[in-house]
């Protein structure tokens, strides 16, 4: 790749070969509030539709996406350096099933909740808790999955009755623009807006009047976004990366484990927040595991060709990070079993296996986001758990073993949001499962009913149909003290006698309060 190609601005080169593309104009910052306002203007009519009607529009979007998947895949491939086939497989082919599940989640999350109320304590009362859309939800997404990263927030936000404004990464603006264009064709005018640009565009979106924000990105930026959202008293869901660990036990199915760990290490060229970046292998199988992992990963091909296993890295900065971390690890004693260098074409980096990694190495502490498998030998599962938890991140963690019960026990000891036995990142594409983490991964939640505080607030509608005044209302008379004492007796010992006594006192108190109110009219 030429130095001239590296010098191009983000989003204006093709990662596959470094050739330039036409730049995408950023949205003028002063126009961002108007984009939010248009979404807000369209939102009430959208929210007034039934969930079934909103779901049909989202389904129509899904059908249109699949019908035009080849067109979108071409745009994504150009921006990501992946093959069109990989783009379809990673983000598009299951979109309709994802939407179907998201609608199921929405029906559960948005269903009114009837409140159980004691007829004795609160006669004639009923209450229901409803889900009310926030208004306009801003979604700031990263470049690694330029379409799929939007889905996990876009669909539930729309199904909940919100307007949405999308802010794609400056590295993948064309994919974001394509998505916004399809939204404009399938949803009411203005309901889904688009803001293009760098970090200042994201800041303008936050300051432009959104009612909630969903952010995926770096820890440093996520902290600033969270603080700014807190100042505005709006909910903010943040997902801030990971340094996922896999624990490989001696009794694992070695062939299946090799394929699984390798796949989740280099999937999307390792540009995945839940990519396996640390592999802790019990010593008794470490030699065989390392040797065969080197052979397996070393045979993988890197090109945007449809027959390739993985594509290139997406941008020059990410290539530099991966290359620097690998060089640091080698300088500190890591052994390169395969790969370890650029491919020489575009932003490609060879799938790499490093053996003999230690905690002193940068590549074992900081997010790599590249096609690198780092093997750390451990004496047993106890050491593996301790080292796996010794990280600033906590997104996914996995345990690979034939002993499922033991695997579950170990998985539950991992300090992560998603703990997996004999697999790894697959939970991220299931709308029923909360995609969340701990530590510097951030407290945000995507997918599942547990993500809905991002999209709705709760409203209680409380109805009193009682004909008599409540017994605790004013004024206080000679029956109030016995009434209060009867409530205390019910709490301490209960029994039918106490309930009958309490029922009589409730009736006396209510009649006395009504009588006192009646006297006010006669007094005039």
C-alpha to C-alpha distance for 268 and 312, rounded to whole angstroms = 9
Of 251, 253, 252, 274, give the one whose Cα is nearest residue 263. Answer: 274
Of 248, 330, 229, 338, give the one whose Cα is nearest residue 291. Answer: 338
Map residue 425 onto helix, strand or coil. helix
C-alpha to C-alpha distance for 138 and 123, rounded to whole angstroms = 43
**Tokens 């623009």 — which residue?**
177
Q: Which residues contact 1 (CB under 8 A, 6 or more apart)?
A: 17, 18, 342, 344, 345, 346, 347
What angle is formed at CA 301 by the lines to CA 300 and CA 302, rounded to 5 degrees? 125
Of 282, 314, 29, give the one whose Cα is nearest residue 167. Answer: 29
Map residue 146 onto helix, strand or coil. coil
**Tokens 């002063």 — which residue?**
30
Indicate if 91 belongs to the active site: no
C-alpha to C-alpha distance for 10 and 513, rounded to whole angstroms = 73
DSSP class of residue 20? Answer: B
Q: Is the dihedral of CA 78, 79, 80, 84 positive or negative?
A: negative
Question: Cβ–Cβ contacts within 10 Å for residue 115, how many?
Answer: 14
Question: Token pair for residue 15?
Answer: 């990662």
Q: Are 176 and 166 in contact (CB under 8 A)?
A: yes
C-alpha to C-alpha distance for 446 and 273, rounded to whole angstroms = 13
Q: Are 483 and 460 in contact (CB under 8 A)?
A: no
Out of 252, 273, 338, 374, which one is annotated catalytic? 273
Helix (H) or strand (E) holding 490: helix 480-492
C-alpha to C-alpha distance for 410 and 401, rounded to whole angstroms = 10
Map residue 193 onto helix, strand or coil. strand
Indicate if 489 belongs to the active site: no
Out of 84, 91, 170, 239, which one is annotated catalytic? 239
C-alpha to C-alpha distance for 438 and 219, rounded to whole angstroms = 12
C-alpha to C-alpha distance for 40 and 405, rounded to whole angstroms = 50
Q: Are 88 and 77 in contact (CB under 8 A)?
A: no
Peptide bond into 475 cis (omega under 30): yes
Cross-strand pairs, 129: 113, 460
Question: Cβ–Cβ contacts within 10 Å for residue 493, how many?
Answer: 9
C-alpha to C-alpha distance for 52 and 129, rounded to whole angstroms = 20
What count of residues does the chain have? 524
Residues forming the active site: 239, 273
């Amino acid at each position: 790749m030429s130095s001239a190609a590296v010098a191009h601005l983000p989003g204006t080169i093709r990662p596959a070969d470094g050739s330039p593309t036409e730049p995408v104009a950023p949205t003028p910052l002063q126009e961002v509030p108007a984009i939010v306002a248009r979404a807000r203007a369209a939102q009430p009519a959208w929210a007034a539709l039934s969930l079934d009607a909103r779901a049909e529009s989202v389904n129509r979007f899904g059908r249109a996406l699949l019908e035009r998947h080849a067109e979108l895949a071409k745009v994504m491939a150009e921006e990501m350096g992946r093959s069109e086939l990989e783009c379809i497989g990673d983000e598009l082919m299951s979109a309709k099933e994802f939407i179907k599940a998201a609608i199921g989640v929405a029906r559960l999350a948005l269903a009114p909740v009837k409140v159980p109320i004691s007829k004795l304590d609160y006669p004639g009362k009923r209450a229901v808790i409803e889900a009310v859309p926030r208004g306009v939800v801003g979604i700031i997404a990263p470049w690694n999955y330029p379409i799929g990263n939007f889905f996990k927030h876009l669909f539930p936000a729309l199904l909940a009755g919100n307007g949405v404004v999308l802010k794609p990464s400056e590295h993948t603006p064309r994919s974001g623009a394509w998505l916004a264009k399809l939204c404009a064709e399938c949803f009411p005018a203005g309901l889904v807006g688009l803001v293009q640009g760098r970090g200042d565009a994201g800041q303008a979106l936050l300051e432009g009047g959104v009612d909630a924000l969903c952010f995926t990105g770096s820890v440093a930026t996520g902290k600033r976004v969270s603080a700014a959202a807190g100042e505005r008293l709006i909910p903010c869901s943040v997902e801030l990366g990971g340094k996922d660990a896999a624990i490989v036990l001696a009794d694992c199915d070695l062939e299946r484990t090799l394929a699984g760990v390798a796949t989740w290490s280099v999937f999307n060229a390792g540009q995945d927040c839940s990519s396996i970046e640390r592999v802790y292998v019990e010593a008794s199988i470490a030699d065989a595991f390392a040797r065969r992992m080197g052979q397996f990963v070393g045979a993988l091909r890197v090109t945007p060709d449809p027959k390739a296993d993985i594509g290139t890295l997406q941008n020059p900065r990410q290539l530099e990070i991966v290359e620097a971390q690998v060089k640091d690890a080698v300088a500190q004693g890591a052994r390169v079993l395969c790969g370890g260098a650029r491919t020489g074409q575009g932003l490609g980096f060879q799938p790499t296996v490093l053996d003999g990694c230690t905690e002193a190495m940068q590549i074992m502490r900081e997010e790599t986001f590249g096609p690198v498998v780092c093997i750390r030998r451990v004496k047993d599962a106890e050491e593996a758990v301790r080292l796996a938890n010794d990280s600033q991140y906590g997104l996914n963690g996995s345990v690979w073993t034939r002993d499922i019960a033991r695997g579950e026990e170990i998985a539950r000891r991992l300090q992560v949001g998603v703990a997996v036995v004999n697999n790894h990142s697959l939970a991220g594409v299931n709308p029923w499962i909360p995609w969340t983490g701990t530590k510097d991964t951030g407290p945000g939640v995507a997918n599942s009913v547990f993500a809905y505080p991002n999209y709705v607030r709760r409203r209680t509608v409380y109805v009193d149909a009682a004909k008599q005044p409540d017994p605790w209302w004013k004024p206080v008379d000679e029956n109030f003290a016995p009434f209060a004492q009867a409530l205390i007796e019910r709490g301490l010992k209960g029994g039918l006698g106490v309930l009958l006594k309490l029922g009589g006192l409730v009736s006396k108190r209510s009649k006395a309060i009504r009588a006192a109110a009646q006297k006010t009219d006669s007094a005039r």
